[in-house]
Amino acid sequence: MRSSRIRRVAVVQVLALTSVVLALPLASQAASTSAPAKPSVITGAARVTGTTAVLSGSVNPHNLVTTYYFQYGPTKAFGTLTPTVTLKAAGSTAEKVTQTVTGFLPGYHYQLVARNEDGVKPGHERVFNPKVKTKKTGFVLPKTYAATPLGGTFILSGTLTGSKDAGRELVLQASPYPYRTAYAAVGAPILTSATGAFTFRVANMRTSTKFRVVTVGTPSVTSFIVPAQVQVRVVLKVRASSHKGLVRLYGTVTPAEAGAHVLVQLEKPPKEEQNETGEKLGKLEKPGKGGSEKKEKGPTYATKFKTVVKPGTKAISRFSIVVNITATGRYRVFVELPIGPLVSGHSEGVTLHAPATKAKKKKKA
């Protein structure tokens, strides 16, 4: 009797424990369904064109009817609200939402806010800070430079580009021929204009030199190398002769360049384009350039006579030649130099006239 009673008590206890275990998931489920279900909100990106922005985000209504709106403004206080919109679906998945606003400027704060019967839930606050494309700092310089006469002034003008081009301090650096020494500053630094423009002037050029422009400060920016060639100075003089057509061409070369070749050259005007009938054509316009003209070609020169530079003093050498002028035109003297601290140069042109020829008389029949 006693043993059977003990078995009945044990069975009752087991059944009681089983009922408790089975009841735990049901209680847990009941607790989860009764928990608050405020919307889940994420504030998204802002797509901005001018001052018009499309604000985006996502809202999970958690199976409740949910409304949303955006708030935005220049500070964290926002100040402007968009119209309230009701989500079309009240499911349990996140819904993408957007609204278009105007008067939206860089630096504005914005936030997505949603509400249902369990409460209000704001998304995280965001700030519109557009990426500003900064111009790369660099130099714009001419591609070619005319040779500078001996003792003349070399002028280097250009523009500094970039986001910080105005009022920037620049220094000019130089390495003279034979360009083996390190670049050293020439003169005092200068400041760029409001548009980044600048001009350096180097007076009394005596030897060909390579220049470059460098910005002062960190980070430093260096221009490409600018070769400044210094031209030998040539002076041409003319002395008439008692013989028709013969003239003496003489002059000086500075500095002394004894043995250099002297070429007496006749200027030839550029050829003008002609049509099939031989008529000269005017300047042509390039298609689509709104009246831009063809670039005119400069004169060319034909060598008529040759001689060499003769020794003179330590500073000056001389040349002299007597020539027979058979063609009227503008002549110049070109002094040809090998590679060195100075480059070849030429004199100013002078007009020389060939003697007039008498027309032959026709013999009578």
* CATH homologous superfamily for the domain 138-230: Immunoglobulins (2.60.40.10)
Residue 361 has what pLDDT?
56
Residue 141: count other Cβ atoms within 10 Å of its Cβ: 17
Q: Give the Cα separation of 321 and 248 in Å (integer).
A: 6
Residue 273 has what pLDDT?
54
- Residue 292: both structure tokens together: 């831009």
Q: Give the Cα separation of 114 and 123 in Å (integer).
A: 8
* % of the chain residues with pLDDT over 70: 79
DSSP line for 150-183:
TT--EEEEEEEESTT-TT-EEEEEEEETT--SPP
166-225 pLDDT, tens per residue? 999 999 999 999 999 999 999 999 999 999 999 999 999 999 999 999 999 888 999 999
Count of alpha carbons within 13 Å of 214, Cβ hemisphere only? Answer: 17
Is residue 344 a contact partner of residue 231, using CB atoms and an 8 Å limit? yes
Regarding pTM above 0.75, the answer is no
DSSP line for 252-309:
EEES--TT-EEEEEEEEPPPPPB-TTSPBP-PPBPTTSSS-BPPPP--EEEEEEEEEP
40-127 fold: Immunoglobulin-like (2.60.40)
Residue 190: count other Cβ atoms within 10 Å of its Cβ: 16
Is residue 147 a contact partner of residue 230, using CB atoms and an 8 Å limit? yes
Residue 230 makes CB contacts below 8 A (sequence gap 6+) with 147, 148, 149, 150, 152, 205, 206, 207, 208, 209, 341, 342, 343
Count of alpha carbons within 13 Å of 112, Cβ hemisphere only? Answer: 27
Residues of the chain with pLDDT under 70: 1-36, 132-135, 271-297, 358-365
Q: Give the Cα separation of 326 and 305 in Å (integer).
A: 12
Residue 102 has what pLDDT?
95
Residue 269 has what pLDDT?
80
- Residue 50: both structure tokens together: 């001018």
Query: Where along the chain do the CATH 2.60.40.10 domains lie?
Result: 40-127, 138-230, 232-270+297-352
Residue 148 makes CB contacts below 8 A (sequence gap 6+) with 154, 205, 228, 229, 230, 231
The residues that bridge with 43 in the sheet, in sequence order, are: 57
**Architecture in CATH of 232-270+297-352:** Sandwich (2.60)
Mean pLDDT of the residues in the chain: 84
